[in-house]
Amino acid sequence: MTGVPACYVFWGMIAIMILGLLSAWIARLSEGSRGQAVCQGLFMACLVLVGLAAVAVPQIGSGCWLLASATLPVMVLMATYDSGRCADTEPSV
């Protein structure tokens, strides 16, 4: 790695991962609100950012590639998980 200390890469990756997880949580909480489209757009942008980071980290030589790679599926699960709390319809028989 030339010019960038490893600790900067590590803490930068941690910040990107936290931002990605927060965006997934906010996108989930905004469901049904007026700001839902904005929150979903933020989530998609963060999903792309985390994906690019997961690809770039092994190229840089940082050891935190597993964290970056694990954050992607966690973000997707956070955004798509349905706990059933919003069920307005009765089950059909």
Which of 13, 10, 44 is CA-nearest to residue 26?
A: 44
Residue 93, token pair as written in the block: 């028989």
Tell me if 38 is assigned to some domain.
yes
Q: Which domain holds residue 16?
A: 8-79
The owner of tokens 């904005």 is 38
Residue 64 predicted with pLDDT over 90: no
15 assigned to some structural domain? yes
> Could you tell me if residue 89 is inside a domain?
no
Q: Tell me whether residue 35 is in a domain.
A: yes
Q: Considering the domain boundaries, does residue 60 fall inside one?
A: yes
Q: How confident is the model at residue 6 (pLDDT cuts 50, 70, 90)?
A: confident
**Structural domain includes residue 86:** no
Count of domains for the chain: 1
Cβ–Cβ under 8 Å, residues 43 and 36: no
Q: Is residue 12 part of a domain?
A: yes
Residue 46 has pLDDT above 60, yes or no: yes
Instruction: Establish if 3 belongs to a structural domain.
Output: no
Does residue 45 carry a pLDDT above 90?
yes
66: Cα within 13 Å, side-chain hemisphere = 1
pLDDT confidence tier of residue 47, bands split at 50, 70 and 90: very high
Global confidence as pTM: 0.77
